[in-house]
Amino acid sequence: MNPVVELLLPLALAFIMFSLGLTLVLDDFKRVLTRPQAMLVGLVGQMLVVPAFAFAVARVWGLPPEMAVGLMILAACPGGVSSGLLTHLARGDTALSISLTAVTSVAAVVTVPFVVDLSMQQFMQTGVSVDFPLLKMVRGVFLLTTVPVLLGMSLKAWRPALALRLERPTGRLATALFVLIVLATFFSQRQVLIDNLDSIGPAATLLNLMVIAAGMAMAAAAGLRRRDQIAVATECGLQNAGLGIFIAASVMQSPAMTVPSVVYALLMNFGAIGFVILMRGIDRSAGSEQVNPASR
Asked, for residue 196, whether it belongs to a domain, the answer is: yes
Could you tell me which residues are beta bridge partners of residue 79? 239
| 81-91 per-position pLDDT tens digit | 678 778 877 88
Query: Which range marks the domain in which residue 258 is found?
Result: 3-286
Whether 293 maps to a domain, the answer reads no
Mean per-residue pLDDT, 223-237:
92
Counting the structural domains of the chain, the total is 1
Q: Output the pLDDT for position 294.
A: 47
Round to whole Å and give the CA distance between 3 and 161.
36
Cα–Cα distance for residue pair 206/124, rounded to 1 Å: 23
Assess whether pLDDT exceeds 50 at residue 105: yes
Q: Which residue has the higher pLDDT, 71 or 247?
A: 71
Q: Domain for residue 296, yes or no?
A: no
> For all residues of the chain together, what is the average pLDDT?
81
- Whether residue 123 is contained in a domain is answered as yes
Give the pLDDT band (50/70/90) at residue 43. very high
| Dist. CA 261–CA 277, nearest whole Å | 24
Q: Mean pLDDT over residues 21-41, rounded?
A: 79
Report yes or no on 43 lying in a domain. Answer: yes
> What is the C-alpha to C-alpha distance for residues 196 and 198, in angstroms, rounded to an integer?
6
Asked if residue 187 has pLDDT above 60, the reply is: yes
Does residue 58 belong to any structural domain of this protein? Answer: yes
| pLDDT over 70 (residue 230) | yes
The Cα-based distances of 163 to 98, 246, 251 in angstroms read 17, 28, 32
| Chain-centre distance for alpha carbon 261 | 10
| Percent residues over pLDDT 90 in the chain | 25
Residue 215 lies in a domain: yes
**What is the mean predicted confidence (pLDDT) over 205-226?**
94
Kindly state the greatest CA–CA separation across the chain.
69
Write the pLDDT tens digit of every residue in 256-271. 888 898 888 878 878 8
Q: Do the beta carbons of residue 59 and residue 206 sit within 8 Å?
A: no
Q: What average pLDDT does this structure show over 72-86?
A: 83
- Among the ranges given (67-76, 120-129, 178-187, 190-199), the one the predictor scored with the smallest mean pLDDT: 178-187
Q: Which amino acid is at 139?
A: R
What is the 3-state secondary structure of the chain? CCHHHHHHHHHHHHHHHHHHHCCCCHHHHHHHHHCHHHHHHHHHHHHHHHHHHHHHHHHHHCCCHHHHHHHHHHHHCCECCCHHHHHHHCCCCHHHHHHHHHHHHHHHHHHHHHHHHHHHHHHHCCCCCCCCCHHHHHHHHHHHHHHHHHHHHHHHHHCHHHHHHHHHHHHHHHHHHHHHHHHHHHHHCHHHHHHHHHHHHHHHHHHHHHHHHHHHHHHHHCCCCHHHHHHHHHHHHCECHHHHHHHHHHHCCCHHHHHHHHHHHHHHHHHHHHHHHHHHHHHHHHHHHHHCHHHC
- A 10 A CB-CB count for 1 gives 9
- What pLDDT shows up at residue 128? 47
CA atoms within 13 A on the CB side of 272: 27
Identify the pLDDT of residue 42. Answer: 93
Most confident of 105-119, 201-215, 266-280: 201-215
What is the structure's pLDDT at 131? 45
Give the lowest-confidence range in 2-6, 8-12, 151-155, 223-227.
Answer: 2-6
Q: Which of 47-51, 224-228, 262-266 has the lowest mean pLDDT?
A: 262-266
pLDDT on residue 222:
94
Give the span between the Cα atoms of 188 and 192, in whole angstroms: 9
Pick the closest to residue 90 from 218, 220, 226 (CA basis). Answer: 226
> Does residue 181 register a pLDDT over 70?
no
- The CATH number for 38's domain is 1.20.1530.20
Residue 287 — very low, low, confident or very high, per pLDDT cuts 50/70/90?
Answer: low
Predicted confidence at residue 296, as pLDDT, reads: 42
The answer to whether residue 292 sits within a structural domain is: no
